[in-house]
């Protein structure tokens, strides 16, 4: 029987007006009620997740306070920290209990996420407890910043829980979306407001001015806060008067007084001696100004809960009425729906799933070839052909990418030493010369080659010479930084372009390589055993002068030649404008 005829039989059966309408209404209403009921449960999870995030965010205030205190930490500060931690733990337990008691399809994933966040919070607390055992003077900026950042990193983990819950709530009650959005924006605003305060912790605790990096972080956080305000403002206007009144309080107390206080502290923290405030005092002044944000969130959440609960009750009443009407006809309708699903809907859903999997590169998906007949069977045969072709195309693409990568590596790499070749060196060196970086204003081009390399080849053979070149390359990788451009540019010649703060840095690095060469034995363990030396020429150029790579190479080569003439195993360093040299010798 063809798919058209099969569909016609089912469609004709569904045309019985009363049965079709009654069954459709009952099914629709049941799903609407189930979604609404699940949406209400998801709302409780959503609210609990926001409360946990808020308590963890609030915990940063007392934490910042103790991080800025010297040992022994005042009892009042420790008590505030313990109370904040206790509140966070209570909210965590409530959320975990709610998720454990739920039977929704996504609750297992949510439970795993929340437990991971709880474990990360415990680790962050343990790190803070270790840190506050140290005297204040021994707490480095990096340790303080890391301690705060680890607490901050706990908050984003709740996003997946709230996002999944939002989808479930809106599925059950689309009208609740605006309330949920405002609540989420308020929760995010509370987190960003807390984060803005935490940006000051390292500077306040160390009694120093804000660094440029901290100033940038504060500016970025302030920008996010302004964006959140712009997003919230039009949405709040559509809410009842209590929500609008709560937002007015946020405008006055946080966007007004709170941000003004932050700006004042930020200005004080620009001074060389720092702001002159403790982290605890800052938190005591700043944290209460964020309270209206929480009040706004709670007000909007109450509105959302009322809306979701009312919608669930309405859907339940409609379900009971529809069920009473359709009860007699349900048996026959269920049979027809089952037939329609098994014979038409399910195959197309399965085919769609397989095609989508193939489109994303999942070639492990199985195609049911012997399950269906007729047009649907032919459809799955075509899908199998598509799978085969897709596998072959993917294999060819992977092979093409691999070959391109190998060709690119071969074009830039010296095959013996695995360093850059001359062409790659010059290309990268030219790009480096065009950069502008005030942190490293000088460029140093170091050329060196192995002394008496021909004698090594003549005495021990070319295999020994190759081994010596590889040994030098290994020492180069251990001596120079990753950002330095190191290459073999000739037979026994090597070149390095360094970005340095001053010339002594390049000379010192060349000395280190010279010392390592003198201590390195080149041996195969049997036939030959020898040491090697090298002669160096170092030329310099100011980055601001837009130096020419060819000129630098020529000058460094001249200095290398001078080192050779002066007896080898030397370092000739360019001084003055061009030609004067400082001779360095290691004998």
Question: Can the peptide bond before residue 72 be classed as cis, meaning omega within 30 degrees of 0?
Answer: yes
Please determine, for residue 2, whether its predicted confidence score (pLDDT) is greater than 70: no
Contacts of 251 (CB under 8 A, 6+ apart): none
pLDDT band of residue 221 (cuts 50, 70, 90) is: very high
* pLDDT digits 0-9 by tens, 374-433: 777 777 778 778 878 877 787 788 788 877 767 776 778 998 999 999 999 999 999 988
Which residue(s) pair with 499 in the sheet?
A: 443
Give the per-residue pLDDT at 143.
Answer: 87
Taking the C-alpha atoms of residue 561 and residue 546, their distance in angstroms, rounded to an integer, is 25
Integer angstrom CA distances of residue 203 from 74, 199, 218, 276, 290: 20, 8, 12, 10, 22
The Cα 244–Cα 192 span in angstroms is 21
Work out the angle between the directed axes of helices 107-131 and 17-67 (0-180°, nearest 10). Answer: 0
Q: Are strands 485-488 and 581-585 parallel, antiparallel or unpaired?
A: unpaired
Cα dist from 127 to 69, 115, 121, 147, whole Å: 16, 18, 10, 7
Calpha distance 318→29 (Å, rounded): 7
Residue 330 pLDDT greater than 70, yes or no? no
Residue 582 has pLDDT above 60, yes or no: no
pLDDT for residue 107 is more than 50? yes
pLDDT for res 337: 62
User: Residues 490, 426: contact at Cβ < 8 Å?
Assistant: no
Q: Alpha-carbon torsion 393, 394, 397, 398, what sign?
A: negative
pLDDT at 585: 39
Give me the pLDDT at residue 328, please: 72
pTM: 0.49
**Average pLDDT, rounded, for the chain:** 85
What does the pLDDT average to over 243-261?
90
Give the residue, 493 or 47, on which the prediction is more confident: 493
Q: What is the pLDDT of residue 453?
A: 93
3-state secondary structure at position 449: strand
pLDDT band at 586 (very low <50, low <70, confident <90, very high): very low
Q: What is the reported pLDDT for 562?
A: 95
Q: CA 319, CA 28: separation in Å to the nearest integer?
A: 9
* Three-state secondary-structure class, residue 521: strand
Q: At what angle do helices 259-268 and 279-286 cross, to 10 degrees?
A: 160
Of 71-75, 374-378, 453-457, 517-521, the poorest mean pLDDT is in 374-378
- Is pLDDT of 578 > 80? no
DSSP structural state of residue 344: I
pLDDT at 237: 80
Report the Cα 445 to chain-centroid distance in Å: 37
Give CA–CA dist 525/480, Å, rounded: 28
- Note the pLDDT of residue 483: 92
Task: Give how far Cα 295 sits from Cα of 192, 242, 287, Å.
Answer: 16, 10, 14
Confidence at residue 577, expressed as pLDDT on a 0 to 100 scale: 45
Q: What is the DSSP string of 259-325?
A: HHHHHHHHHHTTSTT-----HHHHHHHHGGGGHHHHHHHHHHHHHHHHHHHHHHHHHHHHHHHHHHH
Write the pLDDT tens digit of every residue in 132-190.
Answer: 898 988 888 888 888 888 888 888 888 888 888 888 888 888 888 888 888 889 888 88
What number is the average pLDDT over the span 267-294?
88
pLDDT exceeds 90 at position 50: no
At residue 512, the pLDDT reads 95
Report whether pLDDT(222) > 60.
yes
pLDDT of 86 > 90? The answer is yes
Chain CA centroid to CA 105, Å: 27
Element (DSSP H or E) covering residue 529: strand 529-531
For residue range 153-163, list pLDDT tens digits in order: 888 888 888 88
pLDDT at 368: 78
| Calpha distance 572→539 (Å, rounded) | 9
- Cβ atoms of 437 and 482 closer than 8 Å: no
Q: What is the pLDDT of residue 312?
A: 86
Whether the CB-CB separation of 559 and 502 falls below 8 Å is answered with no
Contact 35, 167 (CB under 8 A): no
pLDDT in tens, 64-80: 888 888 888 888 889 98
Q: What is the maximum span of the chain, computed from C-alpha positions, in angstroms?
A: 110
State how far the Cα of 130 lies from the Cα of 446, in Å rounded to an integer.
Answer: 46
* Confidence check: pLDDT of 17 > 60: yes
Q: How do residues 528-540 score in pLDDT, each as one tens digit?
A: 889 999 999 999 9
The answer, yes or no, to whether residue 329 has pLDDT greater than 70, is no
The full set of domains in the chain, from first to last, is 37-313 (no CATH), 328-412 (1.10.8.500), 422-585 (3.30.70.270)
Question: Side by side, which strands form the sheet with 442-450?
Answer: 485-488, 493-500, 442-450, 534-542, 570-574, 581-585
Do 105 and 40 meet the contact criterion of CB atoms below 8 Å apart?
A: no
**Computed from CA positions of residues 131, 135, 140, 145, in that sequence, does the dihedral angle turn out positive or negative?**
positive
Rounded to 5°, the CA angle 560-565-571 comes to: 40
Residue 240 reports pLDDT greater than 60 = yes
Of 33, 23, 562, 17, the C-alpha closest to 316 is 33
Q: In terms of Cα–Cα distance, which of 466, 571, 583, 577 is closest to 515? A: 571
Q: How confident is the model over 290-299, as a mean pLDDT?
A: 88
Q: What value does the mean pLDDT take over residues 93-101?
A: 87
Buried b (16+ CB within 10 A) or exposed e, 113-136: bbeebbebbeebbeebeebbeeeb
Helices 453-460 and 462-479: angle between axes, nearest 10 degrees: 130
Assess whether pLDDT exceeds 60 at residue 4: no
């Amino acid at each position: 029987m063809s798919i058209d005829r099969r569909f016609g039989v089912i469609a004709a059966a569904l045309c019985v007006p009363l049965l079709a309408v009654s069954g459709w209404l009952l099914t629709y209403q049941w799903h609407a009620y189930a979604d609404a009921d699940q949406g209400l449960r998801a709302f409780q999870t959503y609210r609990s997740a926001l409360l946990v995030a808020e308590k963890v965010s609030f915990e940063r205030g007392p934490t910042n306070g103790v991080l800025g205190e010297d040992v022994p930490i005042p009892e009042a500060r420790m008590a505030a920290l313990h109370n904040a931690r206790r509140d966070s733990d209570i909210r965590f337990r409530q959320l975990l209990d709610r998720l454990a008691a739920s039977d929704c399809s996504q609750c297992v994933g949510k439970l795993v996420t929340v437990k991971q966040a709880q474990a990360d919070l415990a680790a962050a607390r343990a790190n803070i407890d270790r840190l506050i055992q140290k005297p204040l003077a021994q707490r480095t900026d990096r340790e303080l910043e890391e301690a705060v950042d680890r607490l901050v990193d706990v908050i984003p983990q709740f996003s997946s829980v709230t996002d999944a819950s939002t989808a479930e709530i809106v599925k059950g009650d689309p009208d609740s979306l605006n309330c949920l959005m405002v609540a989420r924006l308020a929760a995010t605003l509370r987190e960003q407001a807390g984060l803005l305060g935490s940006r000051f912790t390292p500077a306040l605790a160390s009694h120093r001015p804000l660094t440029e990096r901290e100033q940038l972080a504060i500016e970025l956080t302030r920008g996010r806060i302004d964006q959140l305000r712009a997003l919230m403002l039009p949405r709040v206007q559509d809410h009842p008067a209590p929500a609008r009144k709560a937002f007015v309080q946020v405008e006055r107390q946080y966007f007004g007084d709170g941000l003004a206080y932050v700006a004042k502290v930020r200005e004080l923290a620009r001074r060389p001696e720092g702001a002159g405030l403790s982290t605890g005092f800052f938190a005591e002044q700043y944290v209460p100004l964020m309270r209206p944000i929480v009040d706004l969130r709670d007000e909007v959440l109450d509105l959302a809960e009322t809306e979701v609960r009312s919608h669930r009750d309405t859907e339940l009443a409609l379900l009971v009425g529809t069920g009473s009407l359709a009860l007699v006809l349900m048996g026959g309708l269920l049979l027809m729906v089952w037939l329609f699903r098994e014979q038409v809907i399910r195959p197309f859903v399965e085919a769609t799933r397989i095609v989508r999997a193939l489109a994303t590169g999942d070639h492990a998906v199985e195609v049911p070839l012997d399950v269906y007949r007729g047009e649907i069977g032919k459809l799955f045969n075509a899908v199998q052909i598509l799978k085969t072709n897709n596998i072959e195309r993917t294999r060819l693409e992977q092979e093409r990418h691999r070959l391109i990568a190998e060709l690119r590596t071969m074009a830039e790499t010296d095959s013996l030493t695995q360093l850059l070749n001359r062409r790659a060196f010059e290309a990268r060196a030219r790009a480096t010369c065009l950069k502008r970086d005030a942190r490293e204003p000088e460029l140093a081009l170091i050329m060196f080659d192995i002394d008496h390399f021909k004698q090594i080849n003549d005495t021990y053979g070319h295999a020994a010479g190759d081994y010596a070149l590889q040994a030098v390359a290994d020492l180069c990788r251990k001596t120079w930084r990753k950002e330095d451009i190191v290459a073999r540019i000739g037979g026994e010649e090597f070149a390095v372009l360094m970005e340095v703060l001053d010339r002594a840095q390049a000379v010192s690095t060349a000395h280190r390589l010279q010392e390592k060469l003198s201590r390195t034995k080149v041996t195969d363990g049997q036939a030959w055993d020898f040491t090697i030396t090298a002669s160096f020429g170092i030329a310099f150029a100011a980055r601001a002068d837009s130096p020419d790579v060819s000129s630098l190479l020529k000058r460094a080569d001249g200095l290398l030649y001078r080192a050779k003439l002066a007896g080898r195993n030397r370092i000739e360093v360019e001084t003055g404008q061009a030609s004067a040299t400082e001779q360095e010798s290691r004998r």
